[in-house]
Amino acid sequence: MKAVPIPSALFTLNRERLVKKLLPRSLAVLNANDLMPTNADGTMGHLQNADLFYLTGVHQEETILLLAPDAFDPNHREILFVRAPNEHLTIWEGHKLTKESAAKISGIKNVKWLSEFPTIFRSLACELENIYLNANEHQRADATVETRDSRFVIETQKKFPLHKYHRLAPLMHELRSVKSQYEIDAIKAACDLTGKGFKRVCKFVKPGVNETEVEAEFAHEFIGSKGQFAYPPIIASGANNNILHYNQNDQLCKKGDLLLLDVAAGLGNYMSDLTRTIPVSGKFSRRQKQVYNAVLRIFRAQVAALVPGKTTKDLRTECEERTAKECVDLGLLKMSEIKKQKPDAPAVRKFFMHGVSHPIGLDVHDVTYNHFKIEPGWVLTVEPAIYIPAENFGVRLENTVFVTADGQLDLMAHIPIEADEIEDLMNRR
């Protein structure tokens, strides 16, 4: 992830919001993500722990944040620990943060070297009563790989068994769900870059190009602007439209096929999410446009349905009802099938089988819990679809939308979505 300057005021604000949620006489600790190995002596590029970034703005590995708002020594109430630079690291890995640069990025005045952490942590643990520790509590997370945070939980509870321990994740989920204006601006910048990539691809796609070449066009636009793919891109032509997480991206785009593009940019740690379905030949067939416009009607209605007080489960139920009606009009379902359906197995799931909205921010599937209700300040996706394997195509549309107290602000409203707009854009190449 290439760093994009973000005001330290954002991270200071985030820490202040977290501290207000801690119990008296508490300390909280967050660790950076590990550098993950590949094969032989290889490692993946470092991807920072999103909670730690949210509170500090620091990308560097082996970083620790310690918050102890009731510590007796005022200098111990907020401490950032970073690796000490040395000549060897400078030669092999380049720049590492100095205390001064870490303080400037994070807004934290007291920055110490990592070697000082054990002594200071022990002193504060003995002074205070409650310890908040972090973990990845995303409800769909794969917890197979042990993280730096999870190792720290085991070590700390072994050393200090008599303290009162608390989960930090629920507090972070609450905080990160409601975006500040700084974050909205960052997500909007990622959305704008996504739009540039999409318009570039629309002018490039034609019969005979390969899905791989389409991916390369997006990469050129994103990387050239210091961005990256927000998630593994889905570039699915023809029958591949119907594979929800298709990632082969190496098939020929053929005349008459649709090309489903679930591709978006991340920029400065904040993500966007977009899906469009475009005609390879530059013009939708009559049947393709019928289905496309049905999905677009659902999309418009679902954007309007993003209001405070609902859960993402509520949104899915509403979307399934709207999609079922459109599927009847398209001749895909009969009313008799809908009347006979079981409550937990709607008939429409044959053609639409996934959720319609998820929060987005520092993570594409940003942290939340299913019981959380939407509040002003949330940013969510809207992604209805209709998949028709029997007809060798499917249509999915998706934008990133900001929920306000007064309505919704579609952060991708400037990116073409109407069928006629897309045809016009493609035929301008």
261 in any annotated domain: yes
Same structural domain for residues 166 and 269? no
> Is the pTM for the entire model greater than 0.85?
yes
Q: Token pair of 317, please?
A: 């139920």
Q: Kind and range of the H or E element at 234?
A: strand 234-237
Domains of the chain: total: 2
Distance of CA 31 to the CA centre of its chain: 20
DSSP state, 313? H
Say how far apart CA 69 and CA 75 lie, in whole Å. 10
Same structural domain for residues 346 and 232? yes
153 φ/ψ angles, rounded to the nearest 5 degrees: -60, -50
Same structural domain for residues 48 and 136? yes
Cα angle: 14, vertex 17, 22; to 5 degrees? 125
Of 176, 205, 226, which residue sits at a domain end? 176
1 in any annotated domain: no
Per-residue confidence (pLDDT) for residue 1, from 0 to 100: 65
Amino acid at position 296, single letter: L
Domain residue limits at 170: 8-176
Per-residue confidence (pLDDT) for residue 105, from 0 to 100: 96
Same structural domain for residues 130 and 206? no
Same structural domain for residues 345 and 220? yes
Say how far apart CA 22 and CA 166 lie, in whole Å. 10
Same structural domain for residues 200 and 270? yes
Same structural domain for residues 402 and 258? yes
Same structural domain for residues 233 and 356? yes
Say how far apart CA 64 and CA 392 lie, in whole Å. 51
Could you tell me if 301 and 384 are in contact, meaning their C-beta atoms sit under 8 angstroms apart?
no
Of 176, 207, 239, which residue sits at a domain end? 176
Say how far apart CA 381 and CA 400 lie, in whole Å. 4
Strand order in the sheet with 407-410: 379-382, 399-404, 407-410
Q: For residue 375, how many other CB atoms are within 10 A of its CB?
A: 13
Same structural domain for residues 50 and 112? yes
Say how far apart CA 138 and CA 1 lie, in whole Å. 21
Say how far apart CA 289 and CA 420 lie, in whole Å. 10
Same structural domain for residues 76 and 33? yes
116 in any annotated domain: yes
Same structural domain for residues 236 and 157? no
What CATH number has the domain bearing residue 70? Answer: 3.40.350.10
Could you tell me if 207 and 280 are in contact, meaning their C-beta atoms sit under 8 angstroms apart?
yes
Could you tell me if 352 and 323 are in contact, meaning their C-beta atoms sit under 8 angstroms apart?
yes
Say how far apart CA 423 and CA 304 lie, in whole Å. 26
Same structural domain for residues 187 and 296? yes
2 in any annotated domain: no
pLDDT per residue rounded down to tens, the chain (429 residues): 677 778 999 999 999 999 999 999 999 999 999 888 889 888 888 889 999 999 999 999 999 999 999 999 999 999 999 999 888 777 777 778 999 999 999 999 999 999 999 999 999 999 999 999 999 988 888 878 889 999 999 999 999 999 999 999 999 999 999 999 999 999 999 999 999 999 999 999 999 999 999 999 999 999 999 999 999 999 999 999 999 999 999 999 999 999 999 999 999 899 999 999 999 999 999 999 999 999 999 999 999 999 999 999 999 999 999 999 999 999 999 999 999 998 889 999 999 999 999 999 999 999 999 899 999 999 999 999 999 999 999 999 999 999 999 999 999 999 999 999 999 999 987
Of 160, 176, 192, which residue sits at a domain end? 176
Say how far apart CA 92 and CA 227 lie, in whole Å. 24
